[in-house]
A and B are shown apart, each in its own frame.
Chain A
């Protein structure tokens, strides 16, 4: 059963440190999304890619966040420097065209102290 794989599952870091989250989309899926989930805001779109090209990253604080797809099997989300307000669960999801259901990874639970 194909799955989206995210690493790490949990990350605890101190304010100011760099955080890198990785995602392996389902093979053959051409759209990849990064969402952040908090109790207060729910699921917020940070960035999304189609065929590895970034299409929308308007939900992402550009001064500290960056998202890339170095190849079709890897998407990364970096935060530098991290802040306590970045504490959340970060989900990666992939799909085949935007019409299909999204398949989510297990998420990375980030805590910034």
Chain B
């Protein structure tokens, strides 16, 4: 089983729609959580960190549920420019401390 699991999608949504992605992680030692965005044939870039209390950045909201070991990302009022792959990322605070990436969820926003 992979340490970080995501639904690969693709999620095809119309402009203006609200879309949510979930991600589950298996290692309870994971302490830091992030969402990265990767455009086609580009490098991953940090979208937002995920805090225990949940956090919002404009149209994007991230939530963390430690008890169930899942993270979510909600995108409101989708734009064409939101089309990308969204990578769920976790980091442990013990042992291997490098970021572990999920395989990503692909979003395609259609006009």
Contact = CB atoms under 8 A, between A and B. Distances in A.
A43 B101 contact: yes
B100 to A, nearest CB: 7
A107 B98 CA distance: 18
A78 to B, nearest CB: 20
Contacts of B17: none
Residue among B32, B49, B102, B103 with max Cβ neighbours from chain A (10 Å): B103
Nearest to A33: B98
Interface stretch (B39-47, B53-61, B75-83): B39-47
Interface residues of A, number: 19
B99 interface: yes
B98 A43 contact: no
A21 B99 CA distance: 21
Given A42-B87, A56-B98, 5 more contacts: A45-B100, A55-B98, A98-B99, A102-B46, A104-B45
9 contacts: A35-B101, A42-B87, A42-B101, A48-B98, A56-B96, A91-B44, A98-B98, A102-B44, A105-B43
